[in-house]
Amino acid sequence: MVIAYCTGWLLGCEGHLITNQHCIGNSQDALNTKVEFLAQSTSCSMNDTCDSRGECPGPIGVASTTLVAVSEELDYALVRLGINDSVANYSGLYEKTNGYLQLRSSGAVLKEPIYIPQHPLGYGKRIAWLHKGQPGRIESLTVTECRKDDVGYYIDTQEGASGSPILATSDHQVIAMHHCGGCLNGAIPAQSIIEDLAAKGVLPNCSVATSAGQ
């Protein structure tokens, strides 16, 4: 059995998770997807680095998901989480995982500082935020290496980071979703994801921030 790792995140308050379409491409992929939360070190000790594939499994998770929407063009897959003994209900899930993320309706701003939580190579969670010793930022709104008009940045990512949220340092809202490595890494703009989900009638409740910082 081939095991592949990607990064996903809770979107809105109804039990949805979003990642890349090249991670979950169809309903069967969704059914076979195992989701783990809090897959990370329990301390900042150098002896607790979680630096091998699957070394730090998350204590909370679900064994399968249900596909809600998918877009090859925008490289996203939205799924809804199944419920098992470790997640009694969605409210309980958010309490255990420190809540959910929201998309910024206006998207990214050129030169704004960002950070990227991710699971590179299937390792425990890393948070990338520097480029050459300086805070990473949005470098372009028109990257074309993988698709037209991606959001671009130099902050490091690796295989397994696909689907990571690009978070604005100013308000911690999701301004894009990572999907492409290159000379400038590329991410799908948040506003494009919002528009597509809304057009399909499946935009989750609470998934779009109503104002800065919310």
Whole-number pLDDT of residue 8: 98
β-bridge mates for residue 34, sequence order: none
Whole-number pLDDT of residue 89: 78
Task: Please give the class, per CATH, of domain 103-193.
Answer: mainly beta
pLDDT category at 204 given cuts 50, 70, 90 is very high
Whole-number pLDDT of residue 214: 46
What is the arithmetic mean of pLDDT over 113-121? 97
Name every residue whose Cβ is closer than 8 Å to that of residue 199 and which is 6 or more positions away in sequence: none
Residue located via tokens 């998918």: 70
Task: Please give the class, per CATH, of domain 9-97.
Answer: mainly beta
Q: pLDDT (tens digit, 9 = 90+) per residue, 163-178?
A: 999 999 999 999 999 9
pLDDT value at 85 more than 80: no
How far is 52 from 31, CA to CA, in rounded Å? 26
pLDDT value at 13 more than 90: yes
Residue located via tokens 């003994």: 85
Cβ pair 142, 156 in contact under 8 A: no
pLDDT value at 84 more than 70: no
**CATH topology agreement for domains 9-97 and 103-193:** yes
Cβ pair 204, 16 in contact under 8 A: yes
Supply the pTM of this predicted model: 0.93
pLDDT value at 55 more than 50: yes
Of the listed ranges 18-32, 73-87, 118-132, 197-211, the one predicted with least confidence? 73-87
Which pair of structure tokens corresponds to residue 174? 């999701």
Whole-number pLDDT of residue 82: 85
Residue 22: DSSP 8-state: T
Whole-number pLDDT of residue 3: 83
DSSP letters, 27-50, are HHHHHT--EEE--S-SSS-TT---
* Residue 17 dihedral angles phi and psi, to the nearest 5°: -130, 145
- Could you tell me where the beta strands, DSSP code E, fall in 11-143? 16-19, 35-37, 60-62, 65-71, 76-81, 114-118, 126-128, 130-131, 134-135, 140-143
Higher pLDDT, 40 or 47: 40
Cβ pair 208, 100 in contact under 8 A: no
pLDDT category at 213 given cuts 50, 70, 90 is very low
Q: pLDDT (tens digit, 9 = 90+) per residue, 133-159?
A: 999 999 999 999 899 899 999 999 999
Domain parsing of the chain, residue ranges = 9-97, 103-193
Q: Burial letters for 20-40: b for 16+ Cβ neighbours within 10 Å, e otherwise?
A: bbbbbeeeebbeebebbbbbb
Name which of 34, 56, 37, 59 is nearest 45 in CA terms.
Answer: 56
Q: pLDDT (tens digit, 9 = 90+) per residue, 86-113?
A: 566 788 889 999 999 999 999 999 999 9
pLDDT value at 131 more than 80: yes
